[in-house]
């Protein structure tokens, strides 16, 4: 289990525990955290679970695959380094302390 900090665009923080094996998107959904919509249910077929990963965590996450890279092209103001789709990041003990910030909006 990992504690993940979700930061809304306006700055409000939500620190929740998310079980290993779940995605960061599922953790937000199951804890009613606003700002991560996940319209496709985690199939990497939209960009509505887009976040900016805190810079201290960028290199600690698994690399983006080609499908995630393609979907990020549709996200609101993607950052080539920090943007990730939370449906593609699986929670492990190593992600304890992960910090993600939601964009102004999801599209």
Q: CA torsion, points 101, 9, 75, 41, in degrees to nearest 10?
A: 70
Instruction: Evaluate whether residue 40 is within a structural domain.
Output: yes
Over its C-alpha atoms, the chain yields an Rg (Å, rounded) of: 12
pLDDT, tens only, 32-79: 999 999 999 999 999 999 999 999 999 999 999 999 999 999 999 999
The boundaries of the domain holding residue 32 are: 2-101
50 within a domain of the structure (yes/no) = yes
Residue 102, pLDDT score: 98
What's the pLDDT score for residue 35? Answer: 96
pLDDT for the residue 55:
97
Of 77, 75, 79, 96, the residue nearest 87 (C-alpha) = 75
7, part of any domain = yes
Average pLDDT over residues 3-10: 98
Q: Is residue 107 assigned to a domain?
A: no
CATH code at 53?
3.10.20.30
> Which residues lie across from 52 on neighbouring strands?
83, 101
Q: How confident is the model at residue 101 (pLDDT cuts 50, 70, 90)?
A: very high
pLDDT digits (tens, 9 = 90+) for 70-94: 999 999 999 999 999 999 999 999 9
Domain count, the chain: 1
The token pair that represents 74 in the structure block: 């549709």
In a domain, 10, yes or no: yes
pTM of the model: 0.96
Please name the residues in contact with 78: beta carbons below 8 A apart, sequence gap of 6 or more. Answer: 50, 72
């Amino acid at each position: 289990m990992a504690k993940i900090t979700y930061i809304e665009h306006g700055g409000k923080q939500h620190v929740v525990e998310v079980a290993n094996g779940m995605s960061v998107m599922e953790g937000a959904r199951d804890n009613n955290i606003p700002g991560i919509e996940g319209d496709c249910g985690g199939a990497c077929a939209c960009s509505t679970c887009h976040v900016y990963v805190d810079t201290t965590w960028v290199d600690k996450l698994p690399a983006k695959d080609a499908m995630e890279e393609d979907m990020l092209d549709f996200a609101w103001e993607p950052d080539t380094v920090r943007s990730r789709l939370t449906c593609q990041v699986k929670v492990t003990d190593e992600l304890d302390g992960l910090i993600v910030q939601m964009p102004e909006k999801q599209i």
